[in-house]
């Protein structure tokens, strides 16, 4: 009896986990801009310590998956300014910096920091 319940619970959990895994990969659907581009927006999804989704618009299709040049923590819901350092075939890599709360929409960014 316990084995059947364990098997049923495992199947149920696997069924719930699979759609979530597919959704996380597809959630950041924006095409990467050219290398050298600056982007600004909130981090609305953290895939892992190296990869975040920066919202360039309200829809997940407008979120850019960005592989960071170094791992970062605590970026979820933070507004960032990022410089895209590499972009190819649907992938982008870059460096990001948090924007101070209350900073104006057009922030002066010192590009030498990137």
Is pLDDT at 22 greater than 90 in this prediction?
A: no
The domains of the chain, with CATH numbers, are 28-101 (2.40.50.140)
Rounded percentage of the chain residues whose pLDDT exceeds 90:
54
| Rounded CA separation 3/16 (Å) | 20
| Rounded CA separation 75/65 (Å) | 13
pLDDT score for 84: 95
The predicted model gives 93-105 an average pLDDT of 81
For the stretch 44-86, pLDDT in tens is 999 999 999 999 999 999 999 999 988 888 999 999 999 999 9
Q: Which letter does DSSP use for residue 112 in this model? A: G
């Amino acid at each position: 009896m316990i084995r059947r319940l364990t098997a049923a619970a495992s199947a149920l959990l696997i069924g719930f986990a699979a759609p979530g895994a597919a959704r996380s990969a597809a959630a950041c659907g924006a095409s990467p801009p050219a290398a050298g581009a600056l982007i600004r927006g909130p981090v609305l999804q953290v895939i892992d310590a190296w990869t975040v989704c920066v919202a360039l618009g309200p829809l997940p299709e407008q979120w850019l998956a960005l592989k960071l040049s170094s791992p970062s923590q605590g970026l979820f819901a933070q507004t960032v300014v990022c410089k895209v350092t590499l972009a190819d075939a649907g992938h982008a890599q870059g460096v990001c910096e948090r924007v101070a709360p209350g900073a104006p929409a057009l922030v002066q960014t010192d590009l030498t920091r990137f």
